[in-house]
Amino acid sequence: MHAACRTLLRPLSLHFALSIRRQTGATYLHSFILQHTEVVTNHLTPELKLLLLTPRCKYWHVRPEHWPYGDPYWAIYWPGGQAMARYLLDNPEVVRHKQILDLGSGCGAAAIAAKIGGASYVLANDIHPVAGAALTLNCKLNGLQPLPFLSENIIGVDTSHWDLIVLGDMFYDEQLADGLHQWLRRCIDQHGTTVLIGDPGRGHFIDHPIQKQLWKMAEYSLPESSKQENYGLTCTAVWKYQP
């Protein structure tokens, strides 16, 4: 697996789409998530309880394409997302009284951290519909009302005003990285949006021209469990994009 938020651009398979149509009820999706994940706190944000896929879960040992609802990237707390949520929890002034977009939200940790920090409005965006159900459950686990969720792909299309856009683990593919770079630049130029990026140093991120326009805001050592799950990555960081 790569970034949780890669599902933001990944086309849904016909099998997946038909499954969603057959089982559209939120109650069914919530039951599915509760049955096949477990509450985890051994990550960079132990104060957050998150329903995640672990080695003790049935589908941990099943290839992603065999999941009934497509790749379960929403059930993994990726390093960039961990760094972002940790940074927002430690620096609530970054989000307080602001409108926040969590792009490629995955399990919703960054969105939850932003709301806890006092954001006036938070929208979580991920093209995978199950990510919305996971977000609702994770909000409840952390004492929050469900946050707004949008499953449309807004990259390159929507340039609505946001005070802050946060994203993590999105620079895993060259084409996506280029598209993100251009779109984020447009959001900044048109609306003065602040952009924060979480990434553990994946190849398409550290080799991308955007590096010349980044300022490192924080760096964190990953927990041992995250190191094992992410092929030996040891650190993760938050960067501010300032073109």
* pLDDT per position as a tens digit, 112-148: 999 999 999 999 999 888 999 999 999 999 999 999 9
pLDDT at position 221 over 80:
yes
CB atoms within 10 A of CB 160: 13
pLDDT at position 243 over 70:
yes
Answer with the residue of higher pLDDT: 172 or 160: 160
pLDDT at position 103 over 50:
yes
Answer with the residue of higher pLDDT: 208 or 242: 242
pTM for the complete prediction?
0.86
pLDDT value of residue 207: 74
Structural domains for the chain = 1-243 (3.40.50.150)
Handedness of CA 72, 77, 83, 85 (dihedral sign): positive
Which has the closest alpha carbon to 76: 45, 107, 55? 107
pLDDT value of residue 25: 63
Which has the closest alpha carbon to 84: 103, 62, 59? 103
Structure tokens at 143: 């004492």
CB 198 within 8 A of CB 237: yes
Q: Looking at the chain, how many residues does it have?
A: 243
pLDDT value of residue 203: 66
